[in-house]
Structure 1
Amino acid sequence: MRDDPLPVMIFAAGFGTRMGALTADQPKPMIPVAGKPLIDHALDLVRDAALTRVVVNLHYKPEHLRAHLSDTDILFSEEQPEILETGGGLRHALPLLGNGPVYTMNSDAVWSGPNPLTHLAQNWNPDQMDGLLLCIPPDNAIGHTGKGDFEIAETGHASRGPGAIYSGLQILKTDGLAAIPETYFSLNRLWDDMLANNRLFATTYPGKWCDVGRPEGIELAEDMLDYTHV
């Protein structure tokens, strides 16, 4: 791990279509969960980990996030006229993030347990790794259905297959983005290159994690946090 903190890219540009009416007038990261917007749950973790360079990408109804975060030092990477997906969005934000590895973080999850950013940093080894994914054992993944995304070898190497669930949080080296010709693309493209070079690793999170990608995830997350409405 580097002595200086890595920059953080928080993905907040999506349309949030699975949230239905909840995103008709606001972007998904502004949906309240346990008394505060989803984006604030992510930012609480960032601040707790003492990370200072934060970039949030914007596309759908960006004025809401700009207004909500106007009194912070957060940098914005707006994607217009079209959304660039995770890979294209990360590459678009590199002038703000700088050179070297970065965290990327989804804004539609809530965590219960140790700080997941710190947990990743403690397991990051740039000499061995081009990417380190934080994954969730199925029993600790609240509100998620499916067979999982990655198998993790004893060495920590990741491979695609049913097993642990990708949490939406990772550390990545970004050098490989320059070689991808498409403008709009998923970070799966970068993962494929890392897998081919045996440089993609994963580690599991010891706490609980809730996917808040659908309306029912709100109540599940609040139950996980033991939140009582007042």
Structure 2
Amino acid sequence: MTPQALMLFAAGFGTRMGALTADRPKPLVRVAGRPLIDHALDLIDPVVPGPVVANLHYRAAQLESHLAGTRVVTLREKPEILETGGGLRNALPLLGSGPVWTMNSDAVWAGPNPLALLRDQWEEGMEALLLGIPPDRAVGHTGAGDFLPGPPAARGPGLIYSGAQIIRTEGLTDVQEAAFSLNLLWDRMLARGTLHVIPYDGEWCDVGRPEGIALAEAMLARHV
């Protein structure tokens, strides 16, 4: 089944951004004159045919106001943040029962649409398809990487997880905790050989720290 809906993660506190998120949520930090979340919507709108749900927590009212009038349905997490797995499970009534895209709202992309790449390589029998960034295409990112693409895929130094994937959601119902990471599902899928990772051939910048803003703007300028 081809995915129809997308979960946009936008609930984090943005503590690594320091003063920039003292009065606003991280998805509203501006890069190249526009909020980060608008860069994500530019990728979502041409590809995702069904519902788009954004989970909110920190300074949720600002994001609700910003997204009013768009196709995005917002869902506040309260009293506590639910992390990626709990947040996705909480949104399932709005997303439906099929596989869904998930995407972080704090990265900027330059190159092919990552959601279209995932859609075009999604196959029956997969439980998750993650988009990974080769280290030389991950602008401003340090570290050895998260996944070896395989096959079979495995954890280890190699591709950096981009925050974009397609995932089947049935396994969410087996988790007892209210707040949990999708890493829990990924580990089960890796053990079954049903998690796959493909590389991205454009550039990607994780805008998780203040210095990421200038790096992302320079990256976008290279691709004009």
Q: Please give the TM-score of this superposition, normalised by the length of structure 2.
A: 0.96
State the partner residue of 2:208: 213
Q: Secondary structure at the match of 1:135?
A: strand
Name the CA distance, whole Å, in 2 between partners of 1:152 and 1:193: 16
State the partner residue of 1:49: 47
Name the CA distance, whole Å, in 2 between partners of 1:133 and 1:72: 27
State the partner residue of 2:142: 145
Q: For the Cα contact (< 8 Å) 2:132–2:197, is it kept in 1?
A: yes
After TM superposition, give the deviation of residue 128 of structure 1 in Å. 2.3
After TM superposition, give the deviation of residue 50 of structure 1 in Å. 4.5
Name the CA distance, whole Å, in 2 between partners of 1:23 and 1:51: 32
After TM superposition, give the deviation of residue 35 of structure 1 in Å. 1.1
User: Which stretch of structure 1 is more off in the superposition, 204-213 or 46-55?
Assistant: 46-55
Q: Tell me, yes or no, if structure 1 residue 161 matches structure 2 residue 156.
A: yes
Name the CA distance, whole Å, in 1 between partners of 2:180 and 2:218: 35
Q: For the Cα contact (< 8 Å) 1:85–1:186, is it kept in 2?
A: yes
Deviation digits for residues 29-63 of structure 1 (CA, Å, limit 9, x no counterpart):
00000110000000000012253410000000001
1:1-230, aligned counterparts within 5 Å?
A: 2=2, 6-125=4-123, 127-153=124-150, 155=151, 157-226=152-221
Name the CA distance, whole Å, in 1 between partners of 2:181 and 2:171: 13
Q: Secondary structure at the match of 2:68?
A: coil
Q: Please give the TM-score of this superposition, normalised by the length of structure 1.
A: 0.94
Name the CA distance, whole Å, in 1 between partners of 2:10 and 2:49: 18
Deviation digits for residues 181-225 of structure 1 (CA, Å, limit 9, x no counterpart):
111100000101111111000101110000100000000000001
Deviation digits for residues 122-173 of structure 1 (CA, Å, limit 9, x no counterpart):
1100x221000000000000011111000011x3x32100111000000000
What value does the CA root-mean-square deviation take over the aligned residues? 1.1
Q: Secondary structure at the match of 2:148?
A: strand
Deviation digits for residues 103-123 of structure 1 (CA, Å, limit 9, x no counterpart):
000001000001000011111
Q: Secondary structure at the match of 2:218?
A: helix
User: Where in structure 1 are there 5+ consecutive unaligned residues?
Assistant: none
Q: For the Cα contact (< 8 Å) 2:133–2:162, is it kept in 1?
A: yes
Moved over 6 A (4+): none
State the one-letter code of the partner of 1:150. Answer: F
